Amino acid sequence: GQQLNQSPQSMFIQEGEDVSMNCTSSSIFNTWLWYKQDPGEGPVLLIALYKAGELTSNGRLTAQFGITRKDSFLNISASIPSDVGIYFCAGPVWGKLIFGQGTELSVKP
């Protein structure tokens, strides 16, 4: 079945640094979703992308829908301690949401 390959698997950064992560697929997606999951909680939607080339921001977060429709990127600028968590990309396939393996972000104050 379709898979989403997310990288990196984990990141350890200093507070204030910018962060980039990406998600790729062998198949085309019409929608890309980015979630964040805090410990002990369910994922929370950060950004939804619907069109190839689309660039969308949510505060310090910016995500892009790749031109090929097979990838997406998430950037976090000027990271802060509360950015810690696991970030997932996801996309719908025949009504089912499939997720990348996640990028675990650690921020050192």
Partner 1 sequence: KAGVTQTPRYLIKTRGQQVTLSCSPISGHRSVSWYQQTPGQGLQFLFEYFSETQRNKGNFPGRFSGRQFSNSRSEMNVSTLELGDSALYLCASSPQLTQQETQYFGPGTRLLVL
Binding site for partner 1 (CB under 8 A): 1, 31, 33, 40-45, 48, 88, 90, 92, 94-102
Minimal distance, residue 33 CB to partner 1, in Å? 6
Three-state SS string across the chain, please? CCCEEEECCEEEEECCCCEEEEEEECCCCCCEEEEEECCCCCCEEEEEECCCCCEEEECCEEEEECCCCCEEEEEECCCCHHHCEEEEEEEEECCEEEECCCEEEEEEC
Minimal distance, residue 84 CB to partner 1, in Å? 17
Minimal distance, residue 64 CB to partner 1, in Å? 16
